Structure 1
Amino acid sequence: MTDRQSVVVAGAVWLGAWWHVSVPLAVGVAGLVVALALRRPWLLAVAGLTLAAGLGTRAWAGLDPVAPAPFTGPVTLLSDPADTPFGVRVDVRVGDRRVELEASGAAAGAVTASLAGERLIVSGRLGPPPPHAPWLVPRHVVGRLRATSAERLDAGSAPWRAANRFRRLLGRGAEVLPRVERSLYGGFVLGDDRGQPPEVVDDFRGAGLTHVLVVSGQNLAFVLVLLGPLLQRSSLGVRWALTIAAIAAFGVVTRFEPSVLRASAMAALSVAAAWSGRPTGTLRLLALSVAGLLLVDPLLVHSVGFQLSVAASAGIAVLGPPIAAHLRGPAWWREAMSVTVAAQLGVAPVLVPRFGGLPVV
């Protein structure tokens, strides 16, 4: 499959996930099997659109709001708690559904001290989410839990315990830094942007540098570079296993942000392609990663963070080389400038309609 065909398939899957009309899943699955058997990329695009539409419809059906009711029981944190003017807020799992927990006063203490993956015993009242809250859709949030009391239950499963131990260790090491620098450190290293002052975020946004305030695919690349000496001494099979393990560990530590999901999928596909003896170009890796992620979670198509990550990566892959070819100067300068300009042009279709413009510096 060529780069262009891969992009068409990814675009079809994206359209189907966004469209989410009622299509029987059996039709999409059957079409996918036939397309793979016949090795027809255009048939694969149609099958991808159909399957993504059916999966998207099922995902939206799972967003029926919870009914108002009192609640007492265990919850699992799905993100790290964030302070609000009136207390603290965090996404949690209640049974098999996701809700947004809000706590204030005494109940906020145990919530604030917890991290993603840990479990609490909470008492409060469940209710539907606020109306017209599209930002809750990609998070699969179907309700709100107003907590009146909360206490720690346990530290969660082993991967989350290890990740949180690592995060707390790095957090203690950064306590010597001033408040602003400490908040930036949390964003750069761990993707934790909760303590970043609004004025600092605004300055970075004006300079077009908001992507450095949180983790991204670049951070994953740094991790893989650090592992490079070990990977080079390993066989291809061991290299693939170690890379996948590193990607999974990085995702748990950084909470599987949309940009991390995209970068992780691309890295995993790249290693798999090398392992099979068929190295693949960046654009094709991006297209296949996007298609795969949207088939796993069609609601991801509504995440602004995911849209920006995909758009920036596409801009770099498509526009970066020709821009670099037209620039003058040292190679390092041309490469840095071409990547920056290409990424800004790539995200323009997302940024301009949503936020009203692009940075001028």
Structure 2
Amino acid sequence: MPMSVIVSNLLVVVAAAFAVGIWWAGLCAVYLPLLYCLGLIAAGAVFCFARRRDEAGWLVFALVALFFFAGAIRYLQAVSIPSSDVSLFAGQDVILSGQVVEKQELTANGEETKFRYIVEAWGLTKPDNEKKSAIPVTGKVSLSVSANKVPAAIDCGDRISAAGTIVELHGYNNPGAINTVAALQREGIRARLLPAGPLRLIELSGGGISWQAWRDNWRRQVVVAMEKVMPAPEAAILSGMIFGGYRGISREVITDFQTTGLIHILSVSGTHVALVGVAMLWLGRRFKLRPGLIAVITAIAVTGYAVIAGLTAPVLRSLIMGLTGLAAVVWQREKDVAAAFGLSLLLMLALQPELIYDISFQLSFACTAGLILFYAKTVHLLQRLPKRLAQVVAATFAVQLAALPLTAWYFSNYSLSSFTANFIVVPMVEGIVIAGLVGVLLVSWAPALAGLVFAGCSLCLGAVLQATAWLAALPAASIYFPPLDGAVCVVYYLLLFWLYGYFPQPVMLPLEIWRRWPGRVQVFSIVAALVWAACLVYPRPVIIHFIDVGQGDAAVITTPHGRAVMVDTGGSMGSTSFDLGEQVVYPYLRHYGITELDYLFLTHGHQDHAGGAAAILNHIPVKCVLMAREAEYTQAEKAVLYHRNRQAVIPQYQGQQIELDGVTFTVVYAPAGSRSASEGNETSTVIRVAFGDQSILFTGDLEAPGEAEILAEKLPIKSNLLKVGHHGSRTSSTAAFLQAVAPQVAVISVGYHNSFGHPHAETLARLAAGKTRVYRTDRSGAVRVVTDGQTMTVNPYLYDE
């Protein structure tokens, strides 16, 4: 075997070993000094075997061990928190000083304008001791503040100070959800600051303006130039295609791009960097420039594009991969693309090992690996098709095969329309991006010509949007695909490598097995199908999911035969720009394969209980919605009543009972509303779910007067598990009520560091007095309760220490 091939394969192997070492260190509690010892032993083995030419196999094994331990050590070093980290001051009131490194304007639906700042923290002092020297700190802090609390035009590069409370980063902790806290930490953001007053400008940026501020101002000028010749929504889309980001893009457009598998177009990725690189290579060869000069110009172009795109982590990854690929092309080593892939992987993980948990990183490398491993062989299989069609289908198929477990885990779908979209829409988009970049370069030098270019982009973009909407509306454009667990993923990739012939020669290919034993293959297939069918119809336990929706309530119950019922849907309390039902609850349901609801109970109409219902109706068929009888419907309830997908909507009455697969849902308490919608807590219905000897009581936001009425009427509320009323407020869960329910377990659905002080210490004390085990979604994340009718097991997503 040629030495170049050995080195190429070795780079891939050691990069994979480094990645596995990082993954292992993230899963296990590892003693760092022990890793150093093992790493030294592996390094010694490499030195010994490298001197013996007849021990090549052992040398490879030693290198794999060395890079495995090196990956584990690098990860533990990266995640260690320095003693100066700003997050160590969480829970304390401070005056923070630092430099603004990022600024974003937050405005939605006519609401009050807010600014979000990312501040590189330098020091902090205590509010009662400002004269004392500041404590040096490191790390970035995120803070959001109303526009009226920004006394000057604070911009990137400016030094500011702000008084407030440092709080830890926190997200929605649900299975299958993207870890937003880890994503922020990878960007260096370590904590949040809750401002207690206006920001104070200490010093303008040195030299008048920072490069980030210059870049942001220049981007705004470009967008203004776009909006002069094209509608603002299309300008937002073109800006997203060139610079990345979804700001100003309608939810419908984003959904269409997701359905057709083109959502990566709206965020700067390897596709964009490769497009710029290919365009520059083509121009250089067109003008017959020397290869070295072409390489330099192309490298400058892709680096410049990465800078104006923001040099975010995904852009930086794309740049490293692009420059590595460019080097392979310039040195005419295209056959060593696998080595370039391995080298890029090794470099990026060495710089930032936490990237291994980043969704865009995982998808980028899975897609690249798919193209390297499966593209050429798939083209060969499709050789009877026209060349261009075979290439597009093979590229799409190779990418989707490699990334399928990831897309199933994070998105729970498979885009069938992506094949057509890649053939029809992608070439148009590539032309729009290149033309848009030309227009961007002309904005400062020839604004009139830039306007003509943008106008042409607008015409083409209209056709792209129409084609994307049409493809997304096709039947089965995107189908549900269940998430795969770790063992199934391993089997899937082993099977994939087997089908593509990457196993050693003694292992037969599927076609050879079929030719040799056709009868046995048929019998095995029939038996496997029968076993699969039996698993699908075999009764499962009842599972109650308490979803982490922050300061709100949302729960879903699945029956032994897979039917589903929801009790409340959560909803954002403040800004309407974040649809919690769309972005938290619906993905949770998809992750667990819930594609239809038999019943949806809304205990009352407050936003934090019913605000996500409309989004659920947008995506999931709901056979019947049961609503509380309130004096006046809230905005959230009206959205359900007038929804285009609404089916049956009926009021809840005391004594209503529904039975599904042996699970009984009883409306224990349903008062008629006599107060205004703003006082709707007292109209909260109480729902009891029973299966065998086990029962769960949902109390919505019921407060003490309602609890007293239930006790006076001696209604059947005794239950094994209590969903604590009103997020654990002091005015709910009275001692008498808890004594009547007598729960062994209680779940409190509550937002992290909420402004209401929930759950209240008195409520927690009353629960503790009854020896009730308490789980809180702000600490445990989503809580899954599994029961077979005799026993009950509680599985929190996070274990509260």
- Contact conserved, 2:328 with 2:336, CA < 8 A, in 1? no
Q: Which moved more, 1:55-64 or 1:39-48?
A: 39-48
Q: Give SS of 2:198's match.
A: strand
Partner residue, 2:373: 318
1:135 maps to which of 156, 180, 197? 180
Partner residue, 1:174: 226
Residue deviations 1:143-167 (CA, integer Å, cap 9, x gap): 0023443458336544x46644542
Pairing 1:124-203 to 2, within 5 Å after superposition: 124-131=163-170, 134-137=179-182, 138-147=186-195, 148-150=197-199, 153-154=204-205, 157-158=210-211, 160=212, 163-164=215-216, 166-176=218-228, 177-203=230-256
Distance 1:277 1:359 in 2: 36
Pairing 1:202-221 to 2, within 5 Å after superposition: 202-221=255-274
What is the Cα deviation at residue 269 of structure 1? 2.1
User: How many residues end up aligned between the 2 structures?
Assistant: 355
Partner residue, 1:253: 308
Distance 1:360 1:108 in 2: 48
2:79 maps to which of 60, 71, 75? 60
Distance 1:252 1:30 in 2: 42
The yes-or-no answer on 1:291 pairing with 2:346 is yes
- Contact conserved, 1:270 with 1:280, CA < 8 A, in 2? no
- Contact conserved, 1:163 with 1:253, CA < 8 A, in 2? yes
Q: Give SS of 1:226's match.
A: helix
- Contact conserved, 2:243 with 2:309, CA < 8 A, in 1? yes
What is the Cα deviation at residue 276 of structure 1? 5.9
Gaps of 5+ in 2: 1-5, 51-55, 123-137, 173-178, 418-801
Q: Which moved more, 1:253-262 or 1:83-92?
A: 83-92
What is the Cα deviation at residue 190 of structure 1? 0.7
What is the Cα deviation at residue 277 of structure 1? 6.6
Distance 1:17 1:127 in 2: 30
Q: Which moved more, 1:94-103 or 1:305-314?
A: 94-103
Residue deviations 1:148-205 (CA, integer Å, cap 9, x gap): 43458336544x4664454234222222332321221122111132222222212211
The yes-or-no answer on 1:335 pairing with 2:391 is yes
Distance 2:329 2:275 in 1: 19
The yes-or-no answer on 1:121 pairing with 2:150 is no
Change (3 A) 1:3 1:91: farther
Distance 2:406 2:194 in 1: 34
Distance 2:47 2:388 in 1: 42
Change (3 A) 1:302 1:3: same
- Contact conserved, 2:99 with 2:160, CA < 8 A, in 1? yes
Distance 2:331 2:381 in 1: 35
2:361 maps to which of 303, 306, 322? 306
Change (3 A) 1:199 1:169: same
Distance 2:40 2:237 in 1: 45
The yes-or-no answer on 1:23 pairing with 2:32 is yes
- Contact conserved, 1:13 with 1:48, CA < 8 A, in 2? yes
Partner residue, 2:14: 9
What is the Cα deviation at residue 284 of structure 1? 2.3
What is the Cα deviation at residue 226 of structure 1? 3.4
What is the Cα deviation at residue 120 of structure 1? 4.9
Partner residue, 1:43: 62
AA matched with 2:252: E
Q: What percent identity do the matched residue pairs reach?
A: 23
Q: Which moved more, 1:95-104 or 1:148-157?
A: 148-157
Change (3 A) 1:33 1:170: farther
Name whichever structure is richer in helix by fraction: 1
What is the Cα deviation at residue 279 of structure 1? 4.9
Q: Give SS of 2:141's match.
A: strand
- Contact conserved, 1:66 with 1:128, CA < 8 A, in 2? no
- Contact conserved, 2:96 with 2:121, CA < 8 A, in 1? no
AA matched with 1:143: A
AA matched with 1:74: G
What is the Cα deviation at residue 216 of structure 1? 1.4
Q: Give SS of 1:100's match.
A: strand
What is the Cα deviation at residue 11 of structure 1? 1.8
CA RMSD of aligned residues (A): 3.4
AA matched with 1:217: G
Q: Give SS of 2:413's match.
A: coil
Distance 1:179 1:217 in 2: 27
What is the Cα deviation at residue 298 of structure 1? 0.9
AA matched with 1:98: K
- Contact conserved, 2:169 with 2:190, CA < 8 A, in 1? no
The yes-or-no answer on 1:101 pairing with 2:143 is yes
Residue deviations 1:41-100 (CA, integer Å, cap 9, x gap): 54333222222211211221138624134234332325x526376734354322331222
Distance 2:324 2:11 in 1: 14
After TM superposition, the score normalised by the length of structure 1 is 0.83
- Contact conserved, 2:314 with 2:360, CA < 8 A, in 1? yes
Distance 1:295 1:41 in 2: 20
